[in-house]
Amino acid sequence: MNRLFRPLLTQSFKSSGVYLLIIALTLAISATTALKFSNEQIQNAVALQAAEMLAADLVLTDNQPLEQKWQNQARQLKLQQSQVTAFSSMAHTRDQFVMVNVKAIDQAFPLRGELRVLPQAQTIQPGEVWMSPRAMDLLQVKVGDTVNIADAQFKITAKIEHDSNQELGFSGFSPTVMISRSDVAKTNAIQVGSRAEYRLLMAGDPQQTRQFEQNFKKSQQGNSSKTADEVQTADDQNSLRLRNASEGNTRLMKPIANLDTFLQLSNILTILLCGIAIALTSQRYVQQNQDNIALMRCIGATRGQILNAYLSLLAVVLMIAIAIGSLAGIALGYGLLQLMLQLIPNLQMEFSAGEMLLGPLPVAMLTSAVVLLGFIVPSLWQLLNTPPIRVIRQQEKSVQSMLWMLVMGTASLALFSIVLTENLVLTAWVMGAIVLLCTILYLMIWGCLKFIKNLKGAISAYVRVPYQTAFQITALALGLSLMTVLTVLRTDLLERWQQQLPEGTPNQFVYGLPPFDMPAFKAQMKQHGWPSTPLYPNIRGRLVAKNDQPFAADLVKSNNSLRRELNLTQTTEYPVDNIILQGTAALKHPGEVSVEAKTAAELGIKIGDRLTFSLPEGQIQAKVVNLRSVEWESFSPNFFFIFAPNTMDENAGSYLGSFYVPEQDKNQMVSVIQQFSNTVFIDVSLILDEVKRLVKVLVQIITILALLVSVSGVLVLIACLNLLMDERKREVALLRSFGSSKQKLKQMMTLEIGFMGFMAGIVSCLFAEVISAIASYKMNLLIQAHWQIWMILPILMTLLCALIGRYRLSYLCDIPPLQSLREMNQ
């Protein structure tokens, strides 16, 4: 084996094939390492940003003081802790009275995010109060004044400039004031029957928080044999809830969920692109070594000796790639994080070479090794079966060997895509679609080329071996399409987020508006010129039965819609982002109801069912006439159930809506709030700012990732084009030896390679549309065609390939044919 290995090593490193193979493996290791590590850091950083909305990673809440056991459990898991008590109370001076949301905090608040006040202060002291700008405006006070909250007097020591803890809910309305938890008792604001919320905030490593969540779920597991009434009663008495960042604000978490899918897809595409590059360079390397194998067989080398020699050579190649790829992966991961920190200063990410060496890097090494063997072992087997006569007679490649190589390579790519992304469903969808598309389109292209070749016309001369050309077009198209997918998805995500947060998105909610104040409120909106949504009557009620049958106890226990009062409304005008999915759109007759589609699916509600609701004035029944989708991420009022007019008594409730106040008009909100003193006004502008900031961060992240994945795609295109060039070098030399002119050869290569580029461009558009449709479906994005890529890619690839065909091989025309043939056989 040693006698074969040394000359084989020397011969291999004199050719370009082994260097391209090393480059492909190096890129596979470095790109997958950097992307996997960066994706993990990005997910952690974005999760931290989401946690800022809760001021913690976990929040345990109850309407009663929390039991000590929860603090003990958090302490045992070494979680940071902070306690907050939130309640509503009257704040007043001698002349002004305002209902405020009081947040009583301790010295550790917040555990996540930032609380900034002016003048600067680290912690709030007993007897002090910090106030939001709106609270100070309404009370007409300034820093240094005194204010009463219920029975206690406080000194205003700071104005709240920024509080990232902006939970959205009608109970957390502005204006907000902060006091020390030690001052709650002296306010006497919390009495028997008072509505207060006790919160235990916790923060720590993901493993610690997951363990606390698991412990909490185990402790809350109830007896499934309870009746529906017993479940409802227990739920009313037990208000203990545990929330994490993903449950804190759906408007914030939806873009994060899309980012997670985008990160996983970028991993899959990177692995696929690197795998294609390895496959193509492996094929090129095999072609360059067929003659060497035949010569070894001629001098008596056994298959075992040749196999050992080539496996040893591949081991050397892999070790070189691992050495270079590891250093490049660490450098690329560090550089990518630094680039993101420069472009996105709000992200909190730390580089750790240890985490990379123990995590993504070993997986990337193993991935590349298995992918290399998956693609090259079938080709090696073909080499070992090469007859010695191959030295003097050229033979076509075995189609069976090529198919076997594709099956083995694809299986190894799919396996490690699942390992790297940890998403079986997405990987199965993408890989399955790619394999199916490649098979169908390869057969179609092969059939088309074979038909053209059989015509025996002028164009038939440009079709060499149909199945090889079809394979090259398919590979070229696949590499190009995978580069295109992330660009297309980035555009789709941007459009989706911009649609959710357009200019003029409502930043104020009005809640609890009495019916008699509605005309005056509408007049105020019109006077100020503030765009607003319709005002919807809001009546509280419970869903208690379907078709005169109570819901099952298990369903009541598992579904929050059955355990609490719902905001019900009646109108003929649906919110603008609601879409009717089934049934008749119009609510024409009293006693008809429209149901949100996901809630209907969870509760088994179908069109035609009769639902029973319990309202303060008694029970009502309504027939389901349609199901509709709801954009809960929008900043507009939305409802699970919308009734036809005159089904309920509108005067039994109040009205709610949302409106947009420009930044320059914010000071005018004080007079509006004072005019409607019985109404709650909720300022969601801070939440809106947080969501916009996060979306901006996500846009920058996906742009960087799309560019990084494109680097892998460029290598695929280079490898594919190199294969095209290698196969035509011999043909150019032979045609030159038979007297073909340089101009004719250039024209031939221009037309042939340009035609392949055109077909690859069309096929890549189809690939990109299908893969992006799958990803859009997983991200709940609108599936749409992207006509711009159909206009750009075919033309771009035609011009690119035509130029390469004309000028890349033009130098061969100036080389004596005999010299070219000798060089290719070395």
The pLDDT tens digits for 710-760 are 666 666 666 666 666 666 666 666 676 666 776 777 777 777 778 878 888
What contacts 169, CB < 8 A, 6 or more positions away?
Answer: none
Backbone angles phi and psi of 517, in degrees to 5: -95, -5
Q: How far apart are CA 233 and CA 224, in angstroms?
A: 14
Distances (CA, A) of 321 to 21, 31, 311, 417: 9, 12, 15, 20
Q: Give the residue, 258 or 417, on which the prediction is more confident.
A: 258
Three-state secondary structure call for residue 826: coil
pLDDT band at 351 (very low <50, low <70, confident <90, very high): low
Q: How far apart are CA 128 and CA 181, in angstroms?
A: 11
Q: How far apart are CA 258 and CA 265, in angstroms?
A: 10
Tens of pLDDT, residues 298-331: 777 777 777 788 788 888 888 888 888 888 877 8
Cβ atoms of 176 and 132 closer than 8 Å: yes
Rounded to an integer, the average pLDDT of 660-688 is 80
pLDDT band at 237 (very low <50, low <70, confident <90, very high): very low
Is the confidence at residue 217, as pLDDT, over 90? no
Predicted confidence at residue 282, as pLDDT, reads 72
Q: Give the residue, 330 or 392, on which the prediction is more confident.
A: 330
Q: How far apart are CA 588 and CA 569, in angstroms?
A: 15
Predicted confidence at residue 596, as pLDDT, reads 92
Cβ atoms of 543 and 641 closer than 8 Å: yes
Is the confidence at residue 642, as pLDDT, over 90? yes
Predicted confidence at residue 711, as pLDDT, reads 66
DSSP-assigned states of every residue in 557-612: HH-HHHHS-EEEEE-SS--TT-EEEEE-S---STTEEEEEHHHHHHHT--TT-EEE
pLDDT band at 337 (very low <50, low <70, confident <90, very high): confident
Q: How far apart are CA 628 and CA 580, in angstroms?
A: 4
Q: Which of 72-81, 170-179, 332-341, 348-357 holds the top average pLDDT?
A: 72-81
Bond into 590 cis (ω within 30)? no
Rounded to an integer, the average pLDDT of 242-254 is 63
Predicted confidence at residue 75, as pLDDT, reads 92
Q: Give the residue, 118 or 357, on which the prediction is more confident.
A: 118
For the chain, the straight-line distance linking the first and the last C-alpha, in angstroms and rounded, comes to 22
Rounded to an integer, the average pLDDT of 159-187 is 76
Predicted confidence at residue 219, as pLDDT, reads 82
Cβ atoms of 113 and 164 closer than 8 Å: yes
Place of tokens 């992207």: 786
Is the confidence at residue 169, as pLDDT, over 90? no
Is the confidence at residue 588, as pLDDT, over 80? yes
pLDDT band at 622 (very low <50, low <70, confident <90, very high): very high
**If you count them, how many residues does the chain have?**
826
Q: How far apart are CA 16 and CA 24, in angstroms?
A: 12
Place of tokens 């109404």: 679
Predicted confidence at residue 2, as pLDDT, reads 61
pLDDT band at 83 (very low <50, low <70, confident <90, very high): very high
According to DSSP, the β-strands at 97-105 and 176-180 are parallel
Tens of pLDDT, residues 535-566: 898 888 899 999 988 888 878 877 777 877 88
Mean pLDDT (the chain) is 77
Q: How far apart are CA 388 and CA 391, in angstroms?
A: 6
Give the tokens for residue 622.
């309504």
Predicted confidence at residue 25, as pLDDT, reads 79
Tens of pLDDT, residues 418-444: 555 556 677 777 777 777 877 887 788
Predicted confidence at residue 691, as pLDDT, reads 65
According to DSSP, the β-strands at 152-163 and 115-118 are antiparallel
Rounded to an integer, the average pLDDT of 191-205 is 84
Place of tokens 């909720």: 682
Cβ atoms of 4 and 309 closer than 8 Å: yes
- Could you tell me the sign of the dihedral formed by the alpha carbons of 456, 461, 467, 470, in that order? negative
Query: Which of 81-90, 449-458, 715-724 has the lowest average pLDDT?
Result: 715-724
Share of the chain above pLDDT 90, in %: 13
Is the confidence at residue 146, as pLDDT, over 90? yes
Backbone angles phi and psi of 745, in degrees to 5: -65, -45
pLDDT band at 648 (very low <50, low <70, confident <90, very high): confident
Cβ atoms of 711 and 31 closer than 8 Å: yes
Predicted confidence at residue 605, as pLDDT, reads 92
Q: Give the residue, 365 or 686, on which the prediction is more confident.
A: 365
Burial class, 526, CB count within 10 angstroms (exposed 0-12 / middle 13-18 / buried 19+)? exposed
Predicted confidence at residue 236, as pLDDT, reads 45
Query: Which of 335-344, 402-411, 592-601, 604-613 has the lowest average pLDDT?
Result: 402-411
Is the confidence at residue 155, as pLDDT, over 50? yes
Nearest to 282 by CA among 364, 381, 418, 419: 381
What contacts 583, CB < 8 A, 6 or more positions away?
Answer: 594, 607, 624, 625, 626, 627
Query: Which of 13-27, 67-81, 784-798 has the lowest average pLDDT?
Result: 13-27
Share of the chain above pLDDT 70, in %: 70
